[in-house]
A and B are shown apart, each in its own frame.
Chain A
Amino acid sequence: MPGRVVRARFISPSREDLSPWLDRCDHFYIGSEFCEHLIPSSVWADRMVKDVCGKGKRLSLLTPPVGESGLRRIGQLFSLLSKAVGDPYEVVVNDWGVYRLARENGLLLRLGRLLLRQTRDPRLVPRDDGRATPLATRVSEPLIGLLCELGFRGLETDVWDTALFEMIGPRLDIALYVPFRYLTTTRLCAVARLRVREASDATPVIKACDLECQNSTFVIREGPLGERILAGNTLFILSKYLEKDALPHVGRIVEFDRPI
C-alpha cells in the first residue's frame, strides 16, 4: 500500500511560466506522450530544468512513440537533461525503442499509458472512475514479471482499474492521470492538417507542423462514445474522478490542465 501520495503537474510544451504551480507541486511532468513534434526543444527543456530542479522539485520526462528521427532527438534530449539535472531522472516510456535508449542512459523507467494496454472505451469502461472496472485490465502476471525484469519502477494510467491496482500495487508504483482519459491516438493528425491547404493530404508524420494543437482543442458531442475531446492527434474523454477514493491505491496523482 503506497504511503504519501505525490502530487504532480503536467506542463504543456507551450507553457512558459511555472510560477503559479511551483508552490503547490513537488513534481512536474514535461514532454509529450503522443506526438514527436511535441518533444521539447533543448532550449525549453533547459529552462524548465532550471526552473523545476533549481527549486528542489522533481522532474519526469514524457516521451512519445517515435520514428528514427524522433529517436535521435530523444537521445539528444536525454544527454542534455542528464547534464542539467545531474541525478538520474524519470522517463515515461511509450515506445520500446525509447525504452532501450533510456535504459542505456541509466534513467529511471516508468511505463507510459500508451504501452499499458487497457480497455478505455466508455461503452465498456464507465467514465465514473470511482467504480471498479475489471473489464479494463489487460495485464497478466507474466507481463508484470517482465516489466520488473526490464527495470520499470512504476507505470502510468488514466483508468480507474481496481483489478490492476491490486495486482500491480505492491510491485510497481502507480501514477493516476486526471482528469483526461485517452481513447485513441494516431500519426495522421487532423489538427496538424488544419493549416494544410488540401485537407485530404493524409501523409503520416507531417513534417512541417505549426503546433496548432497547442492553440486549439475541439469537443465532439454526438455518436456512441458521447462527449469527447480532440486535442492534437489524440481523442480523450473527461473522467469523473474522486480523489479520496484514489488515494489508497496510487502513489502519485498527475494533474493535467490540458490534455496534451
Chain B
Amino acid sequence: MFDVMTGPPTTVRGQIRVVTGMDFPTEAPALAEAGASEVYCGLRGAGATRSSTNRRDNPLCNLDGEKQLRELVKMAHGSNLRVQFALNTFYDEQSLGVAMQQALRAQDAGVDGVIVADLGLLRSLETSRFPLPLTLSCLGVVYNTEAIKFYLRFPIRRIVLPRHVTLREMARLCVAYPELEFEAFVFHDRCPFEDGFCNLAHEIPGSLQTRLLATHAAKAAMRLVPDRLRHAAGRPALACLHARSIERKQGKGMDERGRPLEEKVREVLAEHDVYAACALCDIPLLVRIGIRYLKIVNRGSTTTRKTQTIRLIRSALTRQGDEGFKRDSDHARESCLEYRRVFGRNCGPRTCYYPPDSPRHAW
C-alpha cells in the first residue's frame, strides 16, 4: 500500500477522462472542444408521477425522448465523446420495466455504457445478457473493498466513488482492484448528506415547477438564463439544509466558544456550498491514486458553465509535467486563483470536495 501523498507518480497524461453532463445534442462540439472525453445523460420521466428513471427529476437535466437521445449520441460520437446513459435510481416493479426498456433503447441509440445503482436492475441486465459496459453509480455506496467484491458478482467495469469517501480510502480501493476503473467527483453538487442513503427528493415529480420546466418553451428560455439564476430556478434550496429554526431537544452544554450548541449546528449545516464544490486542488492526488475518470455534476447547467469547469480541469491536468505534478501547494495556489476567476469568489473549506484528513487545509 503506497502513501497517497508520496506514492509513485503515474504517467497517465492523456489517459484521464473528463466526464460531463449533457442536456441537449447541440452541446456536443462545445463540450468536446473544452476537453471533455465522455458525457452522461438521462431521459425525463413519464406516467402519472413523472418520476425520471435517473436521480434527477428536473426536466432541465433530462432529454425529452428517444429521438433526442439518438441525436445526442450521434452528435457526441461525431465530436469523439463517449456517452453514458444514466439509469441510476431505484425502481419498483413498474419503473424497473421502464428502465429496462430504456436501457435497450439506449443500446439501440448507440450509447457506450449505462450507469446503474439498483440491484434489481443489475440482476435484470445480467439475466438478459445486456452487452454494454456497466458503471456502478455513487448511489451504490462503496466504502470498502469487501463491498466492491460484492458488486463484482455483476458485470461492472467502473465504479463511481461516493462523495464522502476520503482520498485515502479511494487509494485503498484503487490499489485493491486495479482491474476496475474508478470515477470521482471533482465539481458541483457536493451534498452534505450521502446521496446513496438519501431518501429525499431533489425535485417533486409532477409539481407545478417541474411541469412548467418540462415544456419546450421553458427549456429554451432557461438556456438564456445565467447559470446561477438558472440553477436557483431549476432546483430550489435543498430541503435538508433548512435549519434556521433549530432547538435542542435533549442534553445541555455549550460549544468551545460558549455558544449554545444549536447555534453551532445551524452554522455547520449552513456552511456547505453545495453548488460550487470543487476538487481542483486534489486532481494531482486523484490521478496519482488511480482515478481515471473525473466527473462534473452539471446536468441542468448552461453550456458556458460546463465548458468553463471542463477547461479548469484540463488546465489542472496540463500542469502535470514530465516529472509528475508540481508540488501540491503550488498546484493548489494556482487552482484557487483559477477558481476565483471563474466563480468570482474565493474557494475554501466549505467548497472543498475532499477536505483533507488533517483538521485544516495545508495552505
Contact = CB atoms under 8 A, between A and B. Distances in A.
Contacts of B250: 215-217, 258
A220 B246 contact: yes
A83 B198 CA distance: 36
B363 interface: no
Contacts of B240: 183-184, 225, 235
Interface string A60-99: 0000011110110000000000000000000000011111
Interface residues of A, number: 73
A218 B120 contact: no
Contacts of A121: 199-201, 239
Interface residues of B, number: 72
B194 A146 contact: no
Contact of A216 (B141, B146, B251): B251
A194 interface: yes
Interface string A131-151: 000110111111101100000
Given A66-B144, A140-B91, A219 B204 contact: no
B143 A67 contact: yes
A142 B356 CA distance: 40
A185 B267 contact: no
Interface in B243-262: 243-251, 253, 255-256, 261-262
Contacts of A197: 256
A43 interface: no
Interface stretch (B62-70, B165-173, B178-186, B324-332): B165-173
Interface stretch (B22-30, B284-292, B344-352): B344-352
A124 B204 contact: yes
Q: 7 nearest interchain CB pairs?
A: A223-B242, A97-B146, A143-B120, A120-B199, A138-B90, A97-B147, A117-B90
Interface of B: 49, 90-93, 96, 118-121, 123-124, 127, 141-151, 164-166, 169, 172, 192-194, 197-201, 204, 239-240, 242-251, 253, 255-256, 261-262, 264-265, 267-269, 271-272, 348-350, 352, 355-360
Interface of A: 65-68, 70-71, 95-101, 114, 117-121, 123-124, 134-135, 137-143, 145-146, 163, 167, 182-188, 190-191, 193-205, 207, 212, 215-225, 229-230, 235, 258
Given A200-B348, A216-B248, 19 more contacts: A65-B197, A67-B165, A68-B144, A97-B146, A97-B147, A121-B239, A140-B120, A142-B120, A143-B119, A183-B240, A191-B265, A197-B256, A198-B349, A201-B359, A201-B360, A203-B357, A217-B249, A218-B262, A221-B246
